[in-house]
Amino acid sequence: MSKPWVAEFWRYLLLMAVSLFVGNLLDAVSVGLFLGSTAYLGWNLYNLHRLDRWLDRGRKLQPPEAPGIWGEVFHHLYQLQKRNRSRKRKLKAYLKRFRESTAVTPDATVVLGSGGEILWWNEAATRLLGLQAPQDVGQRLINLIRTPVFTEFCAQGDYERAVEFPSPLDNSIQLSVRVVPYGKEQRLVVARDVTRLHRLEEMRRDFVANVSHELRTPLTVIHGFLETMQDSDDEWSRRWQRSLGLMRQQSQRMEQIVEDLLLLSRLETEERPTHTTRVPIAPMLEEIANEARALSGERAHRITVEADRELFLEGNAKELRSAFSNLVFNAVQYTPEKRDISLHWYTDQGTLRFEVRDKGEGIAPQHIPRLTERFYRVDVGRSRERGGTGLGLAIVKHVLTRHGGRLEIESVVGQGSTFSCRFPLPTR
């Protein structure tokens, strides 16, 4: 027990002793004790009233003076208030600096509450997202930004990635929006103007598509003449047969690169696949496996297929075949001879899954995140020697994205690799 409470306890005992003594003198002990207790209670009620008035009239005022335990109570409350006021001043300063810093940033910043309601935004959010004060305060952001892509993004709750869509105020402005959860079920929405980057990307795609298209005709002509020259049976052709063969091989490779670039350009330009149908995957995999066996030739890979014939996929059959065949043919190219390559089509954890498993050399972990980049090769010399264009996995990635799927890669050096394509189950 603290000293103030000890003193208060003895003060109470002294009051009761005096009350008992006076009551005994007056031959009314109970009356004396009653009056003493009433006086002590009245004193405490009086100090409670003073405390209430002090708290009600302004906690910045000096606390009332009082002896004993009440003086300690007033003092401790006053010290607590001072600490709280100091803490509030610091929080206000932090909030002021936060608002000042976000107000001058070019990125739109919106603070959302637990229910997705708007608590605060900066000036850039007014310019890019069209938020207006005071009518938009407390409104749900998805009710004000009705872009389907953003609504679906918020519904999924996957905030690891950014989502891009045009500004609600100006379709020519392209925004990249990220959502960052923080605090107690609050979220910070940051929208960045990426119009310039978007236009540069469009220019790059257009440039690649135009150059590829322009190269297609001369390459076809060159390849045709080389084929004619190689097939002729004169002395000159026989003398240059090896050189003509190498030239024809490289022209074929260039034609394939052009075709892949044009396909990539089309996949990047169109958001959704056209001419979608209910695609039976099992027969498609059997055809791809037969082509892979022919490609393997004397290397004699053991290629097997395990496919559920009851499972179908909604999409573009040509694009899906291109993606799946790229994965299978890559496995054939990079797996040593007479080893196993298996194709699997089944359901797994609420998704449709296509897998290509090989017993090849495997891929080092540092290369895996970059495998879907254009022209990225783990071993440049060996890839070119085997005729690869370096665009196959980039095509696979874009096809899967257009079909709502994703590519997963698992690999162990010296043991092999597994390339998995996951697709959402059909809604019907």
- The reply to whether CATH 3.40.50.300 applies to domain 198-269 is no
Specify the CATH number for 105-193; select among 1.10.3720.10, 3.30.450.20, 3.30.465.10, 3.20.20.70: 3.30.450.20
The tokens describing 319, both together, are: 């694009």
C-alpha to C-alpha distances, 293 to 301, 330, 341, 419, nearest whole angstrom: 7, 13, 10, 19
φ/ψ region of 251 (left if φ > 0, alpha if ψ in -120 to 50, else beta) reads: alpha
Q: What is the DSSP string of 140-163?
A: BHHHH---HHHHHHHHHT-TTS-E
Bin 97: left if φ > 0, else alpha if -120 < ψ < 50, else beta.
alpha
Given a contact cutoff of 8 angstroms between Cβ atoms, the answer to whether 63 and 54 are in contact is yes
pTM of the model: 0.56
Give the model's pLDDT for residue 420: 93
3-class SS shares of the chain: helix, strand, coil, % to 5: 55, 20, 25
The predicted pLDDT at position 419 comes to: 94
| Tokens coding 261 | 């670039």
The answer to whether 165 and 184 have CB atoms below 8 angstroms apart is: no
Please list the alpha-helical segments (H only) found in 270-308.
281-296
Q: Is 402 in contact with 380 (CB distance < 8 Å)?
A: no
User: Over its length of 428 residues, how does the chain's per-residue pLDDT go in tens digits?
Assistant: 567 667 777 777 777 777 777 777 777 777 777 777 787 787 878 777 777 777 777 655 677 777 777 777 777 777 787 788 788 888 788 777 777 766 667 888 888 888 889 988 888 888 888 888 888 888 998 888 888 888 888 887 778 888 888 998 888 899 999 998 887 788 888 999 998 888 887 787 777 777 777 777 787 888 787 777 777 777 777 777 788 777 877 777 777 777 777 777 777 766 666 677 889 999 999 999 999 998 888 888 999 999 999 999 988 888 899 899 989 988 998 889 989 999 999 998 888 999 999 988 888 888 888 888 877 777 654 555 555 667 888 888 888 988 888 999 999 888 899 999 999 887 65
Fold of 277-424: Heat Shock Protein 90 (3.30.565)
Q: What is the pLDDT of residue 286?
A: 94
